[in-house]
Amino acid sequence: MVNKPEWGQRDKFRKFAKNWKLIGVSSKIDFKEQRFTEDIMRKLLPLIRDAFDDEGMDVIKKAFFLVGLEKGQEILGTLDGTKDASACIMPLETACMLMGVESDLIKEDGKVTLHVFGCPYEGAMQDIFPKDILCECYSQGLVYAANPDMRLKQPRKSCMGDEHCEFVVES
């Protein structure tokens, strides 16, 4: 005999399902498909890196950049046309918020600095690919989405031993 969940338990599952949809995952099937794709990528990236050396790394870096570019465009949506340093760092700040990573934004004289306290890519690639490369390429894509003429600098990286990450965009 199967124990049926209590009414309170059913409400808990309904609330979870509702929130699940709110964050953009529409079903268990979507979750399984996403997991399947992630599993393939975890196998594919090291194979490309190992088989094609520097050229393979260039392809992987470009893929990280293109994913960042795509996500940056999604985050920007209907931006008012502003392409200054603040607009360029906004997709990165938003990505940090969506990933639950605390950050602090400082604006001064055409320069915008984002201090990030924690790694938004901590669980990404499960240690099969250097996080500093993933971070650099993906973050560059996020900035490029707002303004292809702006460049992102990373004077501090927690993955390289710094206390926090620092992203700087100057106009």
Which domains, ranges and CATH numbers included, belong to the chain? 10-170 (3.30.1380)
Q: Give the whole-angstrom CA distance, residue 167 versus residue 104.
A: 10
Helix (H, G, I), strand (E, B) or coil at 45: helix
pLDDT at position 98 is 81
- Rounded to an integer, the average pLDDT of 144-170 is 91
Rounded distance, CA 163 to CA 83, Å? 30
Report angle CA 62, 65, 67 to the nearest 5 degrees: 110
User: pTM of the full predicted structure?
Assistant: 0.72
pLDDT in tens, 56-89: 989 999 999 999 999 888 888 755 667 788 888 8
| pLDDT value, residue 62 | 94
Percent of the chain with pLDDT over 90: 26
pLDDT of residue 79: 59
* Predicted local distance difference test score (pLDDT) of residue 4: 45
